[in-house]
Chain A
Amino acid sequence: MPTILAVDDSPSMRHMVTYALRRGGFEVIEACDGVDALAKAQGADVDLILSDVNMPQMDGISLVRELRALPAYSNIPILMLTTEMSTERKTEGRNAGANGWIIKPFDPDRLLATIHKVLG
């Protein structure tokens, strides 16, 4: 069963995302910001990261950069799940090494379909 690291500073959003992913058959590790995610990623075997962008401590874009610098995470898919829809932020995410951009409010079925597509 693939493991997804779900990162969001909002407990409500983490709750919804985790619920949707578990129902879709994934194991989920939750993290509340970039710093928390970076620590949890290094202690687990993660298949995909789904991260918010605007977060305290370390935002999602910085998290992508930090993860991409780690050999174990150089090729793990990272999808951003965010309210941000500006081209500038998307480009920033893409340049940092993110593999996809999903705009909230997310549709659970479409989110799962996207993840399945990315995981192949």
Chain B
Amino acid sequence: MPLEMAKGSGKQEFLDKRAAQLPPTLLGFSHIQRYWDARHQMAVAKIMPGQLYVTRHREMIVTVLGSCVSACVRDKVTGVGGMNHFMLPIQQEAARSSTPISDAARYGNWAMEMLINEILKQGGKRQTLEVKLFGGGKVLSGINHIDVGAKNIAFVTEYIGREGFAIADKDMGGTYARKILYFPATGAVEVLRISEQRNDQLVMREDDYGKRIDLQTQNDVELFNLPPRSPKKS
């Protein structure tokens, strides 16, 4: 089928050309799925639960949120910005009751800090960060009666307050999922509400992510050469 092969390779060539047109990713974000959006005439980075993406280019960041939350954060002066997509871990609380600091708080803090740090590393300043919050819908159905979305909203709202940031815009809660289109260069956000009929796959994906978070909270300690011991204080 020479004609089809020619067509196929032509399409591949076209896609390769498009990929070559995508602006370079910052260090550490090459694994994020990206494509060209003809309607918006810009590159799109699509993030999944547990991921984040930061850019200093004119790009769009897209994600779909059920009970998860996303913080869209950018530096208003430099335009560098990004988005995360996370939820608090679902099941570890009971198993680790000896720890006064919950896994949920530790994981949530980490998810937020990862995003903010990447923006600061690219020249953003805490004082000029603009924060917008989305998600936290009550979409987990059936067996899971806990309102995971509400917990995620409470955490992220409290976190932003404690860090001293203002919430420039938000759309959280409700009983629906959302598709978020974020444009860090301008700070614009488009929120599309998703009808309930299409939530099954999303709920499964988020549930799976919520349960596997404990694997990501394994901390890593490496000691280098230690200084000579000095006499201990009494």
Contact = CB atoms under 8 A, between A and B. Distances in A.
B220 A15 contact: no
A16 B105 contact: yes
Given A54-B121, A101-B224, A83 B110 contact: yes
Interface in A44-89: 45, 47, 54, 56, 74-77, 83, 85
B35 interface: no
Given A54-B121, A85-B220, A114-B223, A108 B233 contact: no
A77 B101 contact: no
A85 to B, nearest CB: 7
B225 A104 contact: no
Interface residues of A, number: 43
B227 A19 contact: no
Nearest to A11: B162
B100 A103 contact: no
A11 B163 contact: yes
A109 B225 CA distance: 22
B101 A100 contact: no
B117 A54 contact: yes
Contact of B126 (A16, A47, A56, A118): A56
B215 interface: no
A22 B106 CA distance: 17
Contacts of A118: 223, 226
Contact of B113 (A83, A111, A117): A83
A70 to B, nearest CB: 13
Given A98-B224, A103-B219, A114-B221, A13 B109 contact: yes
A11 B162 CA distance: 7
Contacts of A102: 219-222
A102 B221 CA distance: 5
Contacts of A74: 227
B226 A99 contact: yes
Highest count of chain A CB atoms <10 Å: which of B164, B224, B228:
B224
Nearest to A88: B27
Interface string A94-120: 100011111111111111001001111
Contacts of A110: 219, 221
Nearest to A85: B220
Nearest to A16: B101
B53 to A, nearest CB: 15
Interface string B204-234: 0000000000000101111111111110110
Interface of B: 98-101, 105-107, 109-110, 112-114, 116-117, 120-121, 125-126, 159, 162-164, 217, 219-230, 232-233
A-B CB proximity, top 7 nearest: A105-B110, A75-B227, A105-B106, A103-B220, A100-B223, A101-B222, A54-B117
28 contacts: A10-B113, A11-B162, A12-B112, A12-B163, A16-B109, A20-B100, A20-B101, A54-B120, A54-B121, A56-B125, A75-B227, A75-B228, A75-B230, A77-B227, A83-B110, A99-B225, A99-B227, A100-B223, A102-B219, A102-B220, A103-B220, A103-B221, A105-B107, A106-B219, A107-B106, A110-B219, A114-B223, A118-B226
